[in-house]
Every structure is written in structure tokens, then in C-alpha cells.
Structure 1
Amino acid sequence: MQLKPGTVDEYRRRHDAIWPELSALLTEAGIRDYSIFLDEQSLALFAVLRVRPGNTRDTLPDHPVMRRWWDYMAPLMEVEPGNRPKEWSLPLMFHMD
């Protein structure tokens, strides 16, 4: 994902005060151990999360709470139509178990 210049502090503030209903929704969808990292030079965001077997993560874009969060965050990030954050998959270069 990609932040817009000048929005780092606000992005962090909003995530520090994540809505309880959004946190619950993510947990109910089977998401756990979720972190977002920032490359301070490029303002690129890198999310790492674990999902439980049988998770329903793919249904989140249709949920009203998720859509409200995207609308709330849209001024801070590069977004797709509908305010979904632009995301780029990154190729795995190394993994050690």
C-alpha cells in the first residue's frame, strides 16, 4: 500500500485508535497477528498478517465497516475506485521456517 506525503502521523494516529468494530470484524474473519510496516523513504506500507484455516478474509471488501474504514483512510493513501487501498503483491524472495 502507499501513503501520501505528509500523512504518516495521521495514519499512525488512526490505527492507534482502530475502531473496536473493525478489530472485531478482522478477528471474526480469521485474521490474527496483523502488523503494518512503513518504509519511511518511499512511504510504502507493508502488511503482514496470519489467517486461520477457513478464514473469510475475501468477504471483507463487501462489509459496511470495512468500506467505512476505507472511506476514512482514503485521504491518506493511494486508493482504487471505491476507496479500497491500492495493493501490490510482492514476490517471495526468501522464507525460513
Structure 2
Amino acid sequence: MAKRFGFKMYLKPGFKEEYKKRHREIWPEVAALIKSTGVYDYSIFLDEESNTLFAVQKQEGDQSSQDLGDNPIIKKWWAYMSDIMETNPDHSPVTVPLEEMFYLK
């Protein structure tokens, strides 16, 4: 059964274009790992007023991209992104899960 998972992250001010560039050039191994968790539809939006990134994933199974934190490739990606995002001490992005309030099919 497909699930939707939403969360927010935080972009540092002034890095909108760099964030877009890095995701246009996402490492193939990162994309493959995310897909291996069952994520088949993943979008990230930016609220420029607050620099909040809003992410939505559709996934099969019980895993999401947020469950890949022990993978060395993901750790390397996090370190690469840590200069433009708010991160935790391990370089993982600060993420806040969001409760779905409405879905129109």
C-alpha cells in the first residue's frame, strides 16, 4: 500500500540556486538508494519567506529516505549539503515530520 510522508528542512539564506543546482546533479547512487527504500515520488518545495524546505514522498513499504542515515553514501551526501542547510552534529539535515491534514484524490 502506498503511503505519503511529509517533512520540512531548513535552507540557509542565500543558497536557493545552489540547492537547486546540487539536486539537479544529484549523485546517481543517492537517487538509487532513495528508490531502494520504496520511494517512487519525491518532491521538495521552498518557502522563500522562511527558507523552509517542504518535502513530500510517496513510498511503498515502511521505509523512507529518512531511514538511510547509516549508509556511508548518504552520510557523504549530508556532509556535502551541510554548508547550505541547517544540520545536526552528524551533518544530517534538521528535519521535522509533518502530519497530513488533507488529501484530495
TM-score (norm 1): 0.90
Partner of 1:50: 58
Q: Tell which has more relative contact order, 1 or 2 (C-alpha 8 A, sep 6+).
A: 2
Identical counterparts, % of pairs: 44
| 1:31-46 alignment runs, 5 A limit | 31-46=39-54
* Runs of 4+ with >3 A deviation: 54-59
Aligned counterpart, 2:96: 88
Comparing 50-59 and 11-20, the one that deviates more: 50-59
Which TM-score applies when normalising by structure 2? 0.84
AA of the residue aligned to 2:96 = W
Structure 2 residues not aligned, in runs of 5+ = 1-8
Note closer, same or farther for the CA distance 1:62–1:92 as it changes in structure 2 (3 Å cut).
same
CA RMSD of aligned residues (A): 1.6
Instruction: Point out the structure with the larger helix share.
Output: 1
C-alpha distance in 1, partners of 2:16/2:34? Answer: 23
Unaligned runs of 5+ in 1: none
* Number of residue pairs the alignment of both structures matches: 97
